[in-house]
Amino acid sequence: MPTESPRRGGRLMTNRRMFLTMLAGATFRRRSRALAAMLSSAVGAATLFCLAAVCLAVPAQMTAQMRQFGANLIVVPVSADATTPRITEQSAQAAVQAAAQAAGTDTGRLRQADYRYETVRINRSPYLLAGINVDDVRRLNGHWSLEGSWPDQGQVLVGKDVAQAASLKVGSTVTAEYLSSDNLSLDNSHQGSASSAGDAATGSPQATEGSSDGGNGDAGHSAHAGHSGHGGSGGHAGHGGSSDGGATGAAGDPAATESAQGTAQWQVAGIVDTGGQEDDIVYAASADVDRLTGTSTVGYDVVEMSVDTSSTTMDDVVSAVESAGGGQLQAEPVSKITSGDTRIITMLNTLFWVVSAVVLGLTLVGVSTTMTVIVSERRNEIGLRKALGASGRSIATEFYSEAAVLGAVGGVLGTAVGYGLAVAVCRGVFETTLAFNWPLAIASVVLTSVVAVAASYSPVRRASRIDPALVLREE
């Protein structure tokens, strides 16, 4: 209820108006001290907001960056009798849909590629041939280093090791002979090469040991995905094997031409160099592989996916994929990518909490020191007001309000600066923009005000206990 107070500008001042006037006057008269407290709060708010914004953005950005380095989830077929049948088209689609649902995205945004492996003979040595959808593989493996271009129909992409062993270059024509289970009758030296290549393929760091009992020529998805294959002839057959005669001719008709049943001529469109198992494989469009083998696509040996795990865990995705496969699929994370992603995010979160604790401590010290000086300078004023009847509670309220206002103003300024720093970091490191996070901004301003009030507790407590008689006696 308004009480009579001196008129100011022809208006009767209420208690609230007088309180605000006193607060503004006290702050303005000691603006250098107020500025120091405000800057302390602003520095704290800027640091905290920048760190929090970056740490919130890092998981998604890190996942996106790591996904540029290929698949982080590999799906292979399993069976109770160890026959390892291929993944059917329906099972592959179900696995992709389950992974997308677990990651909270749609299948159109989930990058995946299917691989069908067969064994072919080039220059009298067997190699692993992968039937692929070129667009899917190119989208998934953006990190591959290519000399030349991705293959079209009638063309192939060969690994660097294959190109060196078979003396192939971009533009060369390669003659491939399909080695089915019926015509897989190599001489002893070639069989030994094929067997040793299949064993080498299973030596991948990501490999899981499996059977290699010879049988079907579409062996070893281990050479690419780190899993044991269908037969012992899988994988690239020894680079040191016979390569006499080189590739057949130079550039020829880009379209595949079948010279005999199970034989095709393709042009080398590009050579891939990854430093991994991909360098031991020949890649061709699935349609070309179908024509070579004389059969339509009968399934896939490996399905690779790049899953965004920023809003879920890889274990949840693995469980969803295996459940969708009905016990016929096995999902395995690529540990090099998933573990690296997790370690970096964990390290950044730990760093955020450590730095936040240090910044909050420094902000407390800065604001507390400033408020102590302000209370000391206003000691006589406080004593006089208490002598005139002001309560310790009203004096404490005024100081706490002043601290809260200084903290809020500093928080607003600091949040603006922190957002600018966060945007600069994201553009410099990830080359992306950062949206303004309003909930985080409000939390930053509120936290800064709370810290400022908490830092004022000790000096304000001393101010409310000042004995007016001792102060006035000193005067």
Phi, psi of 79, rounded to the nearest 5 degrees: -155, 160
Residue 12 confidence (pLDDT)? 47
Residue pair 434/422 in contact (Cβ under 8 Å)? The answer is yes
Residue 92: exposure state from Cβ atoms within 10 A (0-12, 13-18, ≥19): buried
Distance CA 37, CA 369 (A): 9
Rounded (10°) angle between helices 392-429 and 457-464: 170
pLDDT digits 0-9 by tens, 264-299: 999 999 999 988 888 999 999 999 999 998 887 678
Residue pair 167/122 in contact (Cβ under 8 Å)? The answer is no
Residue pair 388/449 in contact (Cβ under 8 Å)? The answer is no
pLDDT of the chain, 475 residues: tens digit per residue? 444 445 544 454 566 676 666 666 666 667 777 788 888 899 999 998 998 888 887 766 665 555 556 678 899 998 655 555 789 889 999 999 999 999 888 877 788 999 999 999 998 899 999 999 999 999 888 778 899 999 999 999 999 999 999 999 999 999 999 987 555 443 333 333 333 333 333 333 333 333 333 333 333 444 444 443 333 333 333 333 333 333 333 334 444 444 445 899 999 999 999 888 889 999 999 999 999 988 876 789 999 998 877 678 888 999 999 999 888 899 988 765 555 556 677 777 788 888 888 888 888 888 888 888 887 877 777 888 788 787 878 888 888 888 888 899 999 999 999 999 999 988 887 777 888 989 999 999 999 999 989 988 888 888 777 777 766 665 5
Distance CA 177, CA 207 (A): 28
Distance CA 325, CA 327 (A): 6
Q: Look-up: residue for tokens 């985080």?
A: 440
For Cα atoms 96, 302, 145, give the angle at the middle one, nearest 5 degrees. Answer: 100
Q: Look-up: residue for tokens 């533009």?
A: 171
Nearest to 266 by CA among 281, 253, 276, 279: 253
Residue pair 75/87 in contact (Cβ under 8 Å)? The answer is yes
pLDDT digits 0-9 by tens, 22-51: 666 666 667 777 788 888 899 999 998 998
DSSP 8-state symbol, 85: P
DSSP 8-state symbol, 294: T
pLDDT digits 0-9 by tens, 380-407: 778 887 887 878 788 888 888 888 888 9
Instruction: Indicate if the alpha-carbon torsion angle 154, 159, 161, 163 is positive or negative.
Output: positive
pLDDT digits 0-9 by tens, 112-130: 999 999 999 998 899 999 9
Q: In b/e form, how buried is each residue of 373-412, taking b as 16+ CB within 10 angstroms?
A: bbbeebeeebbebbeeeeeeeebbebbbbbbbbbbbbbbb
pTM comes to 0.54
Residue pair 383/468 in contact (Cβ under 8 Å)? The answer is yes
Residue pair 335/206 in contact (Cβ under 8 Å)? The answer is yes
Token pair for 256? 């595949």
C-beta neighbour count of 149 within 10 angstroms: 11
- Render 48-63 in DSSP notation, one character per residue: HHHHHHHHHHHHHHHH
DSSP 8-state symbol, 300: B
